[in-house]
């Protein structure tokens, strides 16, 4: 996702500098960017979650009631693991050295 957004932003800023870029194209791109910005703001403000609430029955299916909670836990652990690994690339911190287990 980051790569797609980065390439879109790069191309968006590069193309107005290209010869033959007219005002209509620029105005359309600005309007598209504003629509995308509004959509992202709605997502970050949880407007859709408030407008379309999910029932507890949908969030805890009878066949596997803990499925979504386990999925969220797994994603949070992976995110924390990646963040910890990113810290480790900078070199071990004092606490990492202190609590490192001997291999």
Single out the residue of 56, 82, 51, 80 nearest to residue 69, CA to CA. Answer: 56
Q: What is the pLDDT of residues 73-98, one digit of tens each?
A: 898 888 888 777 766 666 666 555 65
CB atoms within 10 A of CB 5: 10
User: Alpha-carbon distance 95 to 97, whole Å?
Assistant: 5
* pLDDT at residue number 93: 61
Number of alpha carbons in the 13 Å side-chain half-sphere of residue 91 = 1
pTM as predicted:
0.42
Give every residue of the chain whose pLDDT is below 70, as ranges.
1-2, 13-23, 86-103
User: Alpha-carbon distance 94 to 91, whole Å?
Assistant: 10
Three-state DSSP state, 1: coil
Number of alpha carbons in the 13 Å side-chain half-sphere of residue 35 = 6
């Amino acid at each position: 996702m980051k790569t797609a957004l980065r390439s879109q932003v790069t191309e968006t800023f590069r193309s107005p500098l290209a010869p033959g870029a007219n005002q209509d194209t620029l105005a359309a791109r600005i309007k598209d960017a504003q629509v995308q910005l509004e959509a992202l703001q709605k997502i970050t403000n949880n407007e859709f979650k408030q407008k379309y609430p999910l029932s507890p029955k949908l969030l805890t299916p009878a066949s596997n009631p803990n499925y979504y909670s386990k999925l969220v836990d797994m994603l949070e652990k992976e995110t924390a693991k990646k963040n910890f690994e990113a810290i480790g690339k900078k070199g071990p911190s004092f606490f990492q050295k202190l609590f490192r287990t001997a291999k």
